[in-house]
């Protein structure tokens, strides 16, 4: 049975990579032919959201002799597999483990052909999933490497292979290489969907040993590019901007368009052929590059940005507070519709887990559309299983329903103690009023909340209500400080960690959080993009930054002191002065 093609897998195309399950497989065998030879070992690792979430491995009795040269290569001897389970015992678990995940391997056809042949011999349903080959990805992402063996690619990324030529050792190394490739594809190629990833492995490779003739006029530009974060601009022969991009390293990113055989799409090749000039704006941090790129695109609206630029989508929880009886759901897109959006979450799986917990713990309605409460309405099944307070049948008042919404917000924001305290108080009030049945229901909900809190630590915020200070490492001893008001960038400063400009920082804090009243958000798509960039950075780039929350009850002095302490912790101590701020 052949592997499913990309076209056969269209239902996965729109899935974000973070929402897709991948199973990395490595097998050891008695030889090279899947029909004549047999499996001796299999290892599988399930990857979801950039993390290994499950693993399986087993020796297999091949019921045939393992040649001496194979024993020497793998270390798997005839004695080792003599008492191992037969394929008919192992393959059902292998089939269950893989499920409908994308099948990943290094030189994947070899591993897949042996798994398919073994499933067929055991009379087990064939796999109907596509292959993804890390060797093919390597030839497109690091074309300067003459060899694409697992050992060569692992060495390139300083990945140490434990138990080389054993299934689990090779599968673990393949997984580390695969995760590195996903990072590169996300940051450098804007590939965020599984369908795009499956297609990328088959892109044509263009062998270019140097810059083509029509690029020679750009060589001086390319030589001057700095190794710094920033935003770059591609211009046509009239000087008009064709494309705006951001880079963690301007020189590496821009040069990659012109010098490397990285399998550009036809749209990118058309863009590159039209480039007659390159300009750039160096910045201090990648966060500044992301935000500047977004604003520059908004200002100039280059033609190729609409064709090429895509962002990875992160899911959000949405509470429709415009409805008098709000409902809760999840979505990928932020919309200016009056609803509250909480997040982002790392993946669809994470947001669905959170929603499942909320629906079990809190009594919000799960029906769609508007409701008209009436005592004549009959409660639905969700009320019977204690997952809805039945406001439609007037069994929950508007005040009680709003308390549930408020508790959900506290729960999402990590203020679980507040939720527990409110539930305990309500339980005691019902017991005092001799409503023992109602008190027992709340007692059970308390136990469920405490169990969920132990299992998953949630802390997300309403995107429109985020007041944050993001501190990011810049060059040398500097840090860049971004002041975020209501989810959007209000201002930023570049400061020296060793000589903090306290007066300038205090003025910014006072102005942004305690004096300024104007609304930064005006409802456009670009504003929503900026909110998404900031929220996503806070989720995914905690290693690069420190994030402080500014509470409405704080004072400017208290926020400044917290900021000073945080910068000191980042840099091992910081002095203070009344000047020295640099406007970023």
CATH of the domain at 137: 3.30.420.10
Same domain, 429 and 478: no
Considering the domain architecture, whether residues 285 and 369 belong to the same structural domain is answered as: no
368 and 454 in a single domain? The answer is yes
Q: Are residues 281 and 413 in the same domain?
A: no
Rounded CA separation 95/126 (Å): 8
Contact 153, 133 (CB under 8 A): no
* Cα–Cα distance, 337 to 322 (Å, whole number): 8
Spatial CA neighbour of 247 closest among 307, 302, 185, 188: 188
Do 457 and 521 belong to one domain? no
Q: What is the pLDDT along the chain (584 residues), one digit of tens a residue?
A: 445 544 444 444 468 898 899 999 999 999 999 999 999 999 999 999 888 999 999 999 999 999 999 999 999 999 999 999 999 999 999 999 999 999 999 999 999 999 999 999 999 999 999 999 999 999 888 877 778 899 999 999 999 998 888 999 999 999 999 999 998 888 777 788 898 899 889 887 655 444 455 567 788 788 899 999 999 999 998 999 999 999 989 998 888 887 654 556 677 778 888 888 899 999 999 999 999 998 898 889 898 886 555 666 778 889 998 899 999 999 888 887 888 888 788 778 878 877 887 887 788 898 888 889 999 988 888 888 778 888 998 988 999 899 889 888 877 776 666 667 777 887 788 788 877 877 787 677 667 666 655 544 555 667 777 889 999 988 878 899 999 998 889 999 999 988 899 999 999 999 999 887 666 666 566 677 788 888 888 877 767 789 898 877 789 999 999 999 998 888 654 445 544 444 33
Residue 476 CA to residue 225 CA, distance in Å, equals 19
Distance CA 297, CA 243 (A): 8
Q: From residue 282, how far is each of 250, 292, 293, 295 by CA, in Å?
A: 8, 11, 12, 15
Name, in order, each residue with C-beta under 8 angstroms of 163's C-beta and a sequence gap of 6 or more: 75, 169, 170
Supply the range of the domain harboring residue 549. Answer: 466-583
Catalytic residue list: 165
Shared-domain flag, residues 301 and 334: no
Give residue 518's pLDDT: 67
528: nearest Cα among 351, 311, 329 = 311
Cis peptide before 346 (omega within 30 of 0): no
Q: Which two tokens stand for residue 100?
A: 């409908």
Q: Is residue 413 part of a domain?
A: yes
pLDDT of amino acid 282:
95
* pLDDT for the residue 1: 44
Q: Which of 461, 489, 505 is the last residue of a domain?
A: 461
> What is the length of the chain?
584
CB distance 493 to 581 below 8 Å: yes
Domain boundary among 281, 308, 335: 308
Residue 228 domain-assigned (yes or no) = yes
Shared-domain flag, residues 161 and 25: yes
- Residue 174 in any domain: the answer is yes
Token pair 């991948």: residue: 22
455 with 499, same domain: the answer is no
Tell me the H-state helices in 190-237. 194-200, 219-224
- Domain-embedded: residue 205: no
Residues 219 and 346 reside in one and the same domain: no
The count of structural domains within the chain is 4
70 and 196, same domain (yes or no): yes
The H-assigned helical ranges of 309-435 are 348-361, 381-384, 398-412, 416-432
With respect to residue 2, please indicate whether it lies within any of the assigned structural domains: no
Reduce the DSSP state of residue 485 to 3 states and report it. Answer: strand
Asked if residue 350 and residue 433 are part of one domain, the reply reads: yes
- Domain with residue 244: its CATH number is 3.40.1440.10
Does residue 57 lie within any of the structural domains?
yes
Q: How many angstroms separate the CA atoms of 521 and 528, rounded?
A: 8
**220 part of a folded domain:** yes
User: Is the residue at 206 inside a domain?
Assistant: no
Alpha-helical segments (H) within 468-511: 502-509
Q: What pLDDT score was predicted for residue 230?
A: 95
- Can you give the pLDDT at residue 568? 84
Q: Which of 461, 491, 524 is the last residue of a domain?
A: 461
Residues 399, 496 within the same domain: no
CA–CA gap between residue 39 and residue 60 (Å, rounded): 6
């Amino acid at each position: 049975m052949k592997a499913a093609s990309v076209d056969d897998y269209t239902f996965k195309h729109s899935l974000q990579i973070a929402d897709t399950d991948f199973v990395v497989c490595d097998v050891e065998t008695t030889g090279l032919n899947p029909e004549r030879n047999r499996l001796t070992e299999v290892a599988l690792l399930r990857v979801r959201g950039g993390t290994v979430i499950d693993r399986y491995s087993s020796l297999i009795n091949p019921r045939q002799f393992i040649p001496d040269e194979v024993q020497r290569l793998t270390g798997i001897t005839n004695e080792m597999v003599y008492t191992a389970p037969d394929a008919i015992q192992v393959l059902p678990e292998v089939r269950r483990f893989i499920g409908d995940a994308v099948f990943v391997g290094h030189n994947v056809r070899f591993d897949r052909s042996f798994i398919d042949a073994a499933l067929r011999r055991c009379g087990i349903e064939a796999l109907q999933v596509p292959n993804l080959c890390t060797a093919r990805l390597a030839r497109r992402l690091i074309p300067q490497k003459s060899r694409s063996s697992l050992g060569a690619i692992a060495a390139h990324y300083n990945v140490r292979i434990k138990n080389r030529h054993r299934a689990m050792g090779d599968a673990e190394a393949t997984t580390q290489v695969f995760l590195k490739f996903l990072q590169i594809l996300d940051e450098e190629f804007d590939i965020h969907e599984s369908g795009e990833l499956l297609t990328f492995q088959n892109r044509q490779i263009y062998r270019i040993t140097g810059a083509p003739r029509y690029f020679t006029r750009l060589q001086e530009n390319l030589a001057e590019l700095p190794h710094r974060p920033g935003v770059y601009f591609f211009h046509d022969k009239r000087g008009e901007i064709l494309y705006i991009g951001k880079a963690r390293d301007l020189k590496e990113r821009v040069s990659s368009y012109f010098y490397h055989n990285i399998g550009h799409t036809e749209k990118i090749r058309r863009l590159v052929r039209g480039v007659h000039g390159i300009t750039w704006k160096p910045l201090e941090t990648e966060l500044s590059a992301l935000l500047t790129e977004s604003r520059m695109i908004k200002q100039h609206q280059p033609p190729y940005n609409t064709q090429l630029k895509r962002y990875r989508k992160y899911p959000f929880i949405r509470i429709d507070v415009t409805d008098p009886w709000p409902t809760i759901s999840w979505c990928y897109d932020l919309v200016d519709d009056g609803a509250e959006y909480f997040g982002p979450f790392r993946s669809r799986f994470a947001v669905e887990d959170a929603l499942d917990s909320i629906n079990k713990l809190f009594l919000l309605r799960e029906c769609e559309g508007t409701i008209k409460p009436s005592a004549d309405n009959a409660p639905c099944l969700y009320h019977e299983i204690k997952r809805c307070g039945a406001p439609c049948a007037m069994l929950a008042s508007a005040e009680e329903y709003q308390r549930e919404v408020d508790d959900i917000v506290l729960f999402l924001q990590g203020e679980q103690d507040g939720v527990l305290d409110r539930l305990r108080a309500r339980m005691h009030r019902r017991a005092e009023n001799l409503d023992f049945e109602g008190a027992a229901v709340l007692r059970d909900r308390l136990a469920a909340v405490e169990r969920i809190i132990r299992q998953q630590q949630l802390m997300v915020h309403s995107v429109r209500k985020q007041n944050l200070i993001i501190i990011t490492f810049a060059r040398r001893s500097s840090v860049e400080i971004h002041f975020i008001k209501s989810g959007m960038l209000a201002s930023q400063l570049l400061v020296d960690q060793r000589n903090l400009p306290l007066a300038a920082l205090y003025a910014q804090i006072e102005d942004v959080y305690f004096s300024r009243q104007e609304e930064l958000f005006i409802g456009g798509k670009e504003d929503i993009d900026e909110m998404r960039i900031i929220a996503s950075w806070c989720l995914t780039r905690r290693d690069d930054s420190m994030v402080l929350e500014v509470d409405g009850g704080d004072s400017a002095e208290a926020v400044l002191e917290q900021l000073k302490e945080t910068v000191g912790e980042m840099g091992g101590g910081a002095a203070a002065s009344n000047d020295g701020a640099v406007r970023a």
